[in-house]
Structure 1
Amino acid sequence: MMTRIPRRATSPSRLGERAVVLGASMAGLVAATVLADFFETVTVIERDVLPDHPAVRRGVPQGRHVHVLLQRGAQVLDELFPGLLDELAAAGAPAWNDADLSELHLSFGGHEMIRWGRLPIEPKDMAIYMPSRPFLEWHVRRRLQAMRNVTILEGHDVTGLTSTADRRRVTGVRMVDRNSAAERELTADIVTDATGRGAHTSAFLERLGYGRPAEDHIVMHTTYVSQSLRIPKGTLKEKLVDIGPGPGRPTGMFLVGNEDNTWVFTVFGMVGHQPPPDFAGMLSFAGEYCPAHLLAALRAAEPIGEVAQHRMPSSRWRRYDKMPRLPDGLLVCGDAVCSFNPIYGQGMTVAALDAVALRDCLRRGGPDLPRRYFRASARSIKVAWRIAAGSDLAIPKVQGRRSRSMRATSRLVDWMLVACESDPVVAARFFKVNGLIDPPVRLLHPATVYRLAVANLRRRRGAAPSRQAERSCGAESRPA
């Protein structure tokens, strides 16, 4: 049994007696650990019976597919749960933490990123961690369960929220035990909905008279299938393969190493391009764009279990930040606010950034919390949304609003990706933006724009830099 740990010694003043979190998703777990510093007790209500080991569960159907923790997400998790990243590594989760570009095979928009040398960055600051979703979730959940003022109530369905008579404040939840069918109410000073894309909060707000939040949509109809594998040791140098859609090709693949010497191979298609739901069909589907040495490794692999399939019709952002009125005592986080095209791996990191926004708002006290929180969380969501939207809307059949600024940004990104084929300094800056470390405006620094111009001019003239020249260029540059 894990030893229960006390509240943090630096805990701020309490804002209330009880906080309730709906859903033990990654978003719910990180929200709960933040709330534990501000409320006497935190109760997480989860409909699943949670496994006592890393395992895919019904409430997380995407758990069998590829997950990658972006750099900013890893930093936040290690801040909320000190030592978590070292714990994951010690338990066998692979990480790209030496800046060695030969260990990555990345292709975005038809541009293959530089694959030799090292990025001129501090490796640990830009490390990519690759635990499977069940493995990561289990480690985070164990940390949360060890907190003395946190309880996870498993096997319960939330049937509704309660409010004051004037409907100005949410006061708790109604729930039912899935085994006994017993119903009860739980009062709370604050309720946070982390039940994912299918969350019912917007409907509840409408019943209270607040209306529903407006929604932004990008309709891309992504279908992806995944197969767990064992690949003979020493077969591949790469730790992570990400081949995104390219011009005229709305398809792609991932190959990621996980704990226990296992791998997950995923192929995906958008706007009507559906991968076959069998391993042989997956290999054939990837044959158009997968390098020969990767295909050879996949053919030599041993499949583990069955192929898993998942569909995502659209990216959806519920704009709670734009609602003119909100009741006190109700927050929403993670996919319940914004669910992204999964091929960009942003979901867990944005959920972690939601928790940071919540923590920062709670430190300033409780008054007007929902409005302040939704506006704060929207700032990080907006960055991730624009990154994903720019890539999705480059595919003609994807439905969504294409603004003039987005078209200009797409041209800049294409110039950036051209430079990333050969310039490690530009690649490092791209990594920081894509990993949600730096804001996109950093790409407009005059020194970066100059390097983009040089790389693109060289491309138009048909010249390619020597590797020795690029190594020298990278070695002489300060870390990005």
Structure 2
Amino acid sequence: MDHAVVIGASMSGLLSAAALHRLFARVTVLDRDALPAVDSHRRGVGQSRHAHGLLAKGREVMDELLPGITAELVAQGALKGDLQEQARHIHGGHRLARGQSGLTGLLVSRPLLEGQVRRRVGGLPGVRILSERVVTGLLSQEGRVTGVRLADGELIPADLVVDAAGRGSRMPSWLGELGYRPPQEEQVPIDVRYGTYEFRRRHDHLNGDLVVIVGPTPGAPRAGVALALEDDRWIVTLVGYGEGPPLTLDGFAAYAGTLPAPDLHHLVNLAEPIGEPRAYRTPAAVRRRYERLTRFPDGLLVTGDAVCAFNPLYGQGMTVAAMEARALLDPDLNPLPFFRRIAGIVDTPWEITVGGDLRMPGVEGNLTPKMRMVGAYLDRFHAAAAHDPELTRRFLRVTNLYDPPPSLMAPAALIRVLRSGAQRAVPVPA
């Protein structure tokens, strides 16, 4: 095959191009932004200035698509470590037990990560990344998409078009223009609001730990994360449902003090702030059910946030995008089989996030009996994991998208939870 066009130089678009260059002689990536020449924030990535989680599975898949990318990022200052041994996980109000998970996390700012991925992808044979190119529609002939139309009138022919334009994808309306029905859309109105500060990092902060994650609970629907970054920095993001943290330093610290664990409050009070705080809001998690369509034009695929935009609190977006990009290596790139393949990738993180969100006060939706049962079990599971490193390891394998959620109810795990007296478990001290 000759030419593939990717709409969007997002992480999803870049990783899609990394996969497609193995199948096509030429790959062209088009982005509406003026892409920065150096690693910096850009307008099209609204969450760029906030904490970004790259799950262990995502790092692994990125290394498959771009061999050596982890080592290159570490050489530029990114940090890596075991996600259980060097991290503090507080879930359900319980501090999960330490141990070795065997899961390697990569801690890196979004500008450095995206910049290095863009450099690597742009250097692949036959790949071009073009900035300030606004795609306004699709070209088609006899039931097949044959290219894209740009705002300046230029027509770019292609054997395959991949829409990786993110939450703002115009694909549903473009399908209508071609005489196709748009996909069913599901929305969960989460109204998640962020506030973020960066701080100077000393190696004695948090006794050398690299990550703090404090999850929300129905009784305290606020969360926070601290990630060590390159250049001896912390990025600390605090999150609330329906309300966010104040952006004054005192207000930010006070908000951190309301979380179910004191770790972030201590860090914010101790560390020296850098730069200005930033806010961000995600009104809804959105999933477009392309896999349920029965009719779709050939030569066209959709991936990344254009298919499913998760609650960013869970840090799953980049990892799912990487896994979907790897699905492009399958020799069958007919759209309906492709959408069914990536639905299998999306199902697990969507189930995790929606089940968690619907337990939060103010989030409207159908909390099914199954979700209630799973939530009650997870409360017991987290309490048991406070003193059982093996349960923590199993939980992290699920949240890092290696194992499906039902594995937490496998006989070996269920026995450990039931024998723990989980309701009486005492969290491990900070």
Q: What TM-score does the superposition give when structure 1 sets the normalisation length?
A: 0.85
Q: Distance in 1 between matches of 2:358 and 2:274?
A: 35
Say if 2:238 is the partner of 1:261.
Answer: no
Q: Counterpart amino acid of 2:374?
A: T
Deviation at 1:65, TM superposition (A): 0.4
CA deviations on 1:35-84 (whole Å, 9 max, x unpaired) are: 11111100000111222221101111211000111011111001111111
What is the aligned partner in structure 1 of residue 7 from structure 2? 22
Q: Distance in 1 between matches of 2:94 and 2:425?
A: 16
What is the aligned partner in structure 1 of residue 149 from structure 2? 174
Deviation at 1:466, TM superposition (A): 10
Q: Which of 139, 145, 151 is matched with 2:128 structurally?
A: 151
What is the aligned partner in structure 2 of residue 448 from structure 1? 413
Say if 2:98 is the partner of 1:107.
Answer: no
Q: Distance in 2 between matches of 1:401 and 1:98?
A: 33
> What SS does the corresponding residue of 2:398 show, helix, strand or coil?
helix
Q: Is the 8 A contact 2:186 2:287 kept in 1?
A: yes
CA deviations on 1:171-200 (whole Å, 9 max, x unpaired) are: 111114xxxxx4310000111111110100
> What SS does the corresponding residue of 2:205 show, helix, strand or coil?
coil
Q: Is the 8 A contact 1:21 1:32 kept in 2?
A: yes
Deviation at 1:417, TM superposition (A): 1.2
Task: Indicate how the Cα distance of structure 1 residues 424 and 403 shifts in structure 2: closer, same or farther if over 3 A, else same.
Answer: same
Deviation at 1:465, TM superposition (A): 10
Task: Indicate how the Cα distance of structure 1 residues 299 and 328 shifts in structure 2: closer, same or farther if over 3 A, else same.
Answer: same
Count of residue correspondences: 428
What is the aligned partner in structure 2 of residue 352 from structure 1? 322
Q: Distance in 1 between matches of 2:428 and 2:9?
A: 51
The 5 A counterparts of 1:319-358 are 319-358=289-328
Q: Is the 8 A contact 1:72 1:349 kept in 2?
A: yes
The 5 A counterparts of 1:143-292 are 143-164=120-141, 166=142, 168-176=143-151, 182-237=152-207, 238-270=209-241, 272-289=242-259, 291-292=261-262
Q: Is the 8 A contact 2:386 2:425 kept in 1?
A: no
Q: Which of 89, 93, 105 is matched with 2:78 structurally?
A: 93
Deviation at 1:215, TM superposition (A): 1.1
Task: Indicate how the Cα distance of structure 1 residues 409 and 466 shifts in structure 2: closer, same or farther if over 3 A, else same.
Answer: closer
Q: Is the 8 A contact 1:242 1:254 kept in 2?
A: yes
Q: Which of 32, 36, 40 is matched with 1:51 structurally?
A: 36
What is the aligned partner in structure 1 of residue 63 from structure 2? 78
Q: Distance in 1 between matches of 2:61 and 2:425?
A: 42
Task: Indicate how the Cα distance of structure 1 residues 464 and 175 shifts in structure 2: closer, same or farther if over 3 A, else same.
Answer: closer
Say if 2:427 is the partner of 1:437.
Answer: no
Q: Distance in 2 between matches of 1:370 and 1:146?
A: 28
> What SS does the corresponding residue of 2:198 show, helix, strand or coil?
strand
CA deviations on 1:359-406 (whole Å, 9 max, x unpaired) are: 22xx2x44xx10011110001101000011111111132112222222
- Among the aligned pairs, what percent are the same residue? 40
Task: Indicate how the Cα distance of structure 1 residues 280 and 290 shifts in structure 2: closer, same or farther if over 3 A, else same.
Answer: farther
Q: Counterpart amino acid of 2:370?
A: S
Q: Counterpart amino acid of 1:329?
A: G
Deviation at 1:254, TM superposition (A): 1.1
Q: Distance in 1 between matches of 2:249 and 2:178?
A: 49
Deviation at 1:278, TM superposition (A): 2.8
Q: Distance in 2 between matches of 1:293 and 1:105?
A: 9
Q: Distance in 2 between matches of 1:23 and 1:252?
A: 30
Q: Distance in 2 between matches of 1:465 and 1:248?
A: 17
Q: Distance in 1 between matches of 2:299 and 2:283?
A: 31
Q: Is the 8 A contact 1:231 1:298 kept in 2?
A: no
RMSD: 1.9
Q: Counterpart amino acid of 1:379?
A: G
Q: Distance in 2 between matches of 1:26 and 1:95?
A: 20
Which structure 2 residue ranges, 5 or more long, are not aligned?
A: none
Q: Distance in 1 between matches of 2:389 and 2:416?
A: 11
What is the aligned partner in structure 1 of residue 52 from structure 2? 67
Q: Distance in 2 between matches of 1:193 and 1:463?
A: 48
Say if 2:26 is the partner of 1:41.
Answer: yes
Q: Distance in 1 between matches of 2:3 and 2:163?
A: 15
Task: Indicate how the Cα distance of structure 1 residues 398 and 291 shifts in structure 2: closer, same or farther if over 3 A, else same.
Answer: closer
Task: Indicate how the Cα distance of structure 1 residues 92 and 376 shifts in structure 2: closer, same or farther if over 3 A, else same.
Answer: same
> What SS does the corresponding residue of 1:183 show, helix, strand or coil?
coil
Deviation at 1:305, TM superposition (A): 1.9
Q: Distance in 1 between matches of 2:228 and 2:402?
A: 23
> What SS does the corresponding residue of 1:156 show, helix, strand or coil?
coil
Q: Counterpart amino acid of 1:186?
A: I
Task: Indicate how the Cα distance of structure 1 residues 274 and 200 shifts in structure 2: closer, same or farther if over 3 A, else same.
Answer: same
Deviation at 1:414, TM superposition (A): 2.0
Deviation at 1:293, TM superposition (A): 5.5
Runs of 4 or more consecutive aligned structure 1 residues displaced over 6 Å after TM superposition:
none
Which structure 1 residue ranges, 5 or more long, are not aligned?
A: 1-15, 177-181, 468-480
What is the aligned partner in structure 2 of residue 142 from structure 1? 119
